[in-house]
Every structure is written in C-alpha cells, then in structure tokens.
Amino acid sequence: MKGLSVENLSVEIAAGGRLLKPVDDVSFSIGADECVALLGESGCGKSITALALMRLLPEGARVAAGRVSLQGEALFDLPEAAMGEVRGGRLAMIFQEPQTSLNPVMTVAEQINEALAAHRKLRGDAALAEAGRLLEAVGLERDRLTAYPFQLSGGQRQRALIAMMLAGEPEVLIADEPTTALDVTVQAQILALLRDLQRQRGMGLLLITHDLDVAKDMADRVAVMYAGQIVEWASRDSLYAQPRHPYTEKLFAVLPRLERRGERLDSLPGRVPPPDARVAGCRFAERCPAVFARCREEAPAFHEAAPGHFARCHLAEPQTSRPDAAWRNPGSAREPSRIPPAPASGLQSEVLSVRDLAVHFPVRKGLLRRTVDHFKAVDGVSLAIKAGETLALVGESGCGKSTLARAILRLLEPTRGEVRVAGEAIGGLSGEALRRKRAEMQIVFQDPFSSLNPRMRIGEILEEGMAALLPLAAPARRARITQLLDQVGLPLDAAGRYPHEFSGGQRQRVAIARALAVQPKLLILDEPTSALDVSVQAQILNLLAELQAEYGLAYLFITHNLPVVGYLAQRVAVMRAGRIVEEGAAETLLTAPRHEYTRLLLDSAPGRGR
C-alpha cells in the first residue's frame, strides 16, 4: 500500500532483571496525504512506537515482533546502511523539543545542507539555494540560514527543524508533540504549516499528541493508545461524535471548558499500568467506570463497534450482556458534581492591588557598556484580585507575564508603581517585615520537578517554609504537614519520600502544599498544568478550585491555555508587550472579545475546527 503500514508491532526492554513491554501488538496504517493522530497519556507507549518505526530504539530495547512497511518495503528487513538512507529521508521525525534536536554549534544552513547531502546528494551552491527555498517554505526568511539555534525563538527553531526534515522529501513525517512548548498563536502557525505541507507534498503525517483539540483540528483518523495497545481506531469525525472505548470517553470528560465552571471535572483515577505489569484482563479495568467481572478475567479483542470504528473493549461486542443492570454508558448524561461555593463573608476584601507597575531593563552597548535605552518588560500594569477570586493572565511568551509575577512578589524590583497585598504596600518593606509578608503571597511554578529540592524529603520541603515564616513549634509543624498532605490528596507516607519517587501530577500537588504551608492569601500560579496530561490536569484544577472555595484564596493564574482559563477564572487580563490590552469577565471576554489581539488568541486556539 502507499504510505506506512504497521502490523502487530511489539517492543521489549530488558531492565534490572525485568522484561518491559511498552508496545504490545500495535497495528495501524497511514495513507499518502493522510494525517493519523496517536492519542494517549504519558507512559502509554506513543513515543516508543515512533522510535521503533524509525529503528531508533534506546539501548536494551528491541522489536520483539511485527512488521513495518513504507510503500510496501519492509523496514525491519533492511540492513542499517539502507535504513540510514530511509531515516531522515523517506521517513522523517520531528521531536518534541527542537532545542535538543538541533546542533547548537552549527548554523541552520549547515544542518539543512547536511540532510541535503545525505539524502539528495546536493552540495555547494545548489544545496544553499535549496536550503533557502526550504526555509521560505516553512515561513522563515533566507537570512535565518546564518543563524544558530540559540538566536531563534521556539517557534522559529521548530520551523527550522521542519525544514531540515523536509530536506529528504519524506513520504511519511512523524511529529512527536511538535507544539507542546509553544504559545497558542505559534502552535496554530506550526500546525497550519504541517497541514499545508502535508497536502502540498502528498505526505503521510503521524501526529503524536495528548491534546484532543489538536487532534480534532489535524487528523483524518485517530488511534487512541493505552498501556502499549491501540484501544480505539476510527475516523476523526466518528470518534469525536461518539467515542466507543471508556478510556476515550474519560479523556473527553476531563477537559476543562467555560460551561463547566463550578463543576468538579470528571477524574481519571490511578495511573497507566507500568510496562512490566502482568494484567490478565483489560489493561484499563482498574480505572474504568464501566468495569465488570469479565474485564478482569479476559483480555478484550478489537471489535467493530460501528462501520470503520474499532474498540478494544468487551462492551463493543454486538451482543455484550452486563450483570449490572444499573450500569450507565460512561458517556451518558448525568448530573455533574459541583464544587461548593466559598462562604460569602470576607470574600469582598481586596487581596492584591497593583497600580501602574513597570519593570524596565537597561539596554547597554559599546565598550563601556553605557545605557542607551530601556527594554520595557512591564509598562504600567494595573490590576486587582479579591479574596476567593481568580484572575487569569494570558498572552504570548515574552509579553511580560512572568516578569510581572516576580515584580509582584518582590523577587524583582519594579522601576515604578505600587503593589499592595492584603492592603499593605510592600514596596517599602525590607528585612524581617518583608520576610513576614512573604507568608501571605506564594508562587507555584510550571515545572514542579525543577522547583523541588531533589535532596530533601517531602516533609522537609513542606516544613522549610513554615520554619522560616511561621511562629510554629516543631510538633505543630509536623501536624500541619499531615494536614497538608491530606488536603492535596497525597498519602501520609509521602513525607518520608523524595521528589523523584512521584509522578508529575503528584509533584505538582507537593508544590501546591508547599505554597499552602505558610497559610497565604495570594497564590500566583505560573502555568501550573501545562506540563501535565489532561487527566492529571483535571485533578489539579479540581484541587485548586476546592482549595479556593475552602480558604478564600486569591489566584493570579498565568497561562496560555484558554479552556483552563474559561473553567477556573472569573476575570481575564490579556497582556501584550508589557501592557494589559483587555480585561473583563471571563464569560464576556472569551465569547465576545473587544481587542484585536484577544480575538487572535481565541482564533488560534486548537479545537475550533479546520
């Protein structure tokens, strides 16, 4: 067949005396000029599948079974020399982080020319001319040929990497989470570029993603992966109209939306079973809301639940009977669980007030490094947040969001302006007075792994802030740690463990507990869910909403994820080039924006149709 065909692919990894099977009997196909999206949570085996197709498996891993064909040619039968010509040529792959995929000591031209020489035998002026044409094809100016990767923005680096992969004129392109770290506007540009290139070149595209909205915009067909297996396979329209596997149903149910504000998001408890797990029945049984006895005893086969729509589930069989007559289809309508509102008393008090705040950085030039200008990272920002309220701050990277957050916390001295926390101006505080005030304002960072000390146990991490900022004796601090772990949904034995022993979502719970430990009134949340799967994101959003309702916390929520904004925030401030360009109630701003830039952000969001 034309395109790529994967039949019964299995991958095994020998590690520490155990045999891991991260990919187990996977089959799918990608036609010419077709986009197939591979969906699933982290740990489902998506990236290992892609590496197996490219024959780039890490040391210790091997293809245990299966066949992969490109235009009818069996790739696993080729010697490595022949596969080297296919890899990066007829079959190419774009990795998630372009910064680690591009050589930092080579210019863009040198890296594209390397691919042109290897796969098309072009060198010298001919290669340089073709490299320029490829850059223009991906929306970059020819003068970027002489740039090094560090001189490019994230979106530009991704475009340069795409140009490099196109140099071999691939018949199938694999894109592994190509937009995860990008702003919503840059993400839209990269996805549109991939879609246009695919159509122009008649190229197959395998898009690996955990974002259902991205898959909706891009895919012709969708494969949903769980614990190393494809559990659902269908056309995009069929799957989004009516998913047939309970796992896919749950992925849709955990998505935040404006219309779900005040509801507790559906959760997907537990974790993907590890690759060495021995499961007798269905691998999703322990997390499935529709589980019954047969699911734990017999592994389900693929069944055609509708024409061209397949699901690996007993419930997809034409004549499945259930002993539990009260069972409801997981996608059927039900009354949502609502988060109790916060007590009205005390919620009108203003926790944060920012007036005309500016942060200017000097621009120095010349041998003597004289200041010739100022870069206005934050330029006259004013905002306010009341107790029990969430203000979302949205905008592209570089617009000044994180600089504003650091200036509010006095981690960065502002050039001018006033910041008041709980009615007290913090600009004139220093020493002990500032240290005491810091207990009222805390921050939760985007990446919990890099913000937690790897050498400290969780209990020590939680106690550190209390010992520094609260007048509590050691027994009271230990009691507070127990309370905090319970509040954020972590087991009590977590206090004696290290950060590396937890999942990403659990580490973010630790980071939230650390912020809560000193009993703050204001929490600044800097992209706290962007590095998490949608299922874990839902758990963290539920936790934040419940904590706010219980304690009347004020949140400044920095994000570029507009569905999260609609779910969590009461008000939204849109930031561009250091200024707030639009502010208003979330319902109004997200449905009827007034500023052109806000409309651009909303139109760029995935899931709004092709």
Residue 326, pLDDT above cutoff 70: no
560: pLDDT confidence band, cut at 50, 70 and 90? Answer: confident
pLDDT, mean of residues 156-160: 88
Full-prediction pTM beyond 0.75? yes
Rounded to whole angstroms, how far apart are CA atoms 379 and 577?
8
- SS3 category, 352: strand
Q: How far is CA 470 from CA 54, 378, 465, in A?
A: 55, 32, 8
Average pLDDT over residues 80-84: 92
Identify the architecture of domain 350-604 in CATH: 3-Layer(aba) Sandwich (3.40)
- Distance CA(61)–CA(63), nearest Å, equals 7
Structure tokens at 477: 């601090």
Domain boundaries along the sequence of the chain:
4-241, 246-316, 350-604
Strands 229-235 and 309-312: antiparallel
Answer CATH for 4-241 from 3.40.50.620, 3.40.47.10, 3.90.1300.10, 3.40.50.300? 3.40.50.300
Residue 516 pLDDT level (bands cut at 50, 70, 90): very high
Rounded Cα gap, residues 498 and 513, in angstroms: 15
d(CA 509, CA 448): 9
Residue 464 binned pLDDT confidence (cut-offs 50, 70, 90): very high
pLDDT digits (tens, 9 = 90+) for 403-439: 999 999 999 999 999 999 999 999 989 888 998 898 9
Other CB atoms within 10 A of residue 335 CB? 6
Strand order through the sheet with 370-386: 370-386, 350-365, 416-421, 424-425
- What pLDDT sits at residue 321? 54
Confidence of residue 333 (pLDDT cuts 50, 70, 90): very low
Residue 233 in this model has a pLDDT that exceeds 70: yes
d(CA 89, CA 173): 10
The answer to whether domain 4-241 and domain 350-604 are alike in fold is yes
What pLDDT does residue 157 have? 87
- Rounded to whole angstroms, the Cα distance separating 3 from 75 reads 13
| pLDDT tens digits, one per residue of 358-379 | 999 998 888 878 888 888 999 9
How sure is the predictor about 582, in pLDDT bands with cuts at 50, 70 and 90?
very high
SS3 of residue 59 by DSSP: coil
CB of 569 closer than 8 Å to CB of 557: yes
- In whole angstroms, what is the distance from residue 510 CA to residue 492 CA? 12
Check whether 180 has a pLDDT greater than 80: no
